[in-house]
């Protein structure tokens, strides 16, 4: 059955269907490249953060730890962790906005 389906699809290819498929792929490729560029910019912005902010941001967003858990691990207050993460996010937004 699978072999028949593949053959059937190939017999249904016309210029118009090829054009439609090509147009979809170009849009997908442009979107993919835009997303790739956005991710590269985000990684560069994170890379430019101070080490402490980078570490806390990673724990909060990527390791999904709470401010309390991070504060306990680093032996500091909840407020200092919160401020550090929020400032890191603000710096990243500023870098991305200017790029």
Retrieve residue 21's tokens: 């498929």
How many other C-beta atoms can be found within 10 angstroms of the C-beta atom of residue 78? Answer: 14
- The predicted structure's pLDDT at residue 47: 92
Mean pLDDT, the chain, rounded, equals: 81
**75 SS3 class:** coil
CA distance 72 to 58: 16
Give the phi and the psi of residue 76 in degrees, each rounded to 5.
Answer: -140, -175
How much is the pLDDT for 10?
A: 54
Closest CA to 87 of 40, 59, 53, 43: 53
Which pTM does this prediction carry?
A: 0.65
Low-confidence ranges of the chain (pLDDT < 50): none
Cα gap 48→89, rounded to integer Å = 12
The answer to whether 92 and 58 are in contact (CB under 8 A) is no
Q: What pLDDT is stored for residue 9 in this prediction? A: 53
């Amino acid at each position: 059955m699978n072999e028949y389906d593949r053959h059937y699809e190939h017999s249904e290819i016309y210029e118009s269907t090829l054009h439609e498929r090509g147009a979809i792929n170009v849009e997908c490729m442009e979107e993919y490249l835009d997303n790739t560029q956005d991710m590269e910019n985000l990684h560069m912005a994170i890379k430019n953060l101070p080490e402490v902010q980078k570490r806390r941001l990673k724990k909060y967003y990527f390791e999904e730890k709470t401010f309390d858990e991070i504060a306990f691990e680093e032996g500091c207050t909840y407020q200092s962790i919160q401020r550090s993460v929020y400032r890191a996010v603000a710096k990243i937004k500023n870098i991305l906005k200017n790029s």
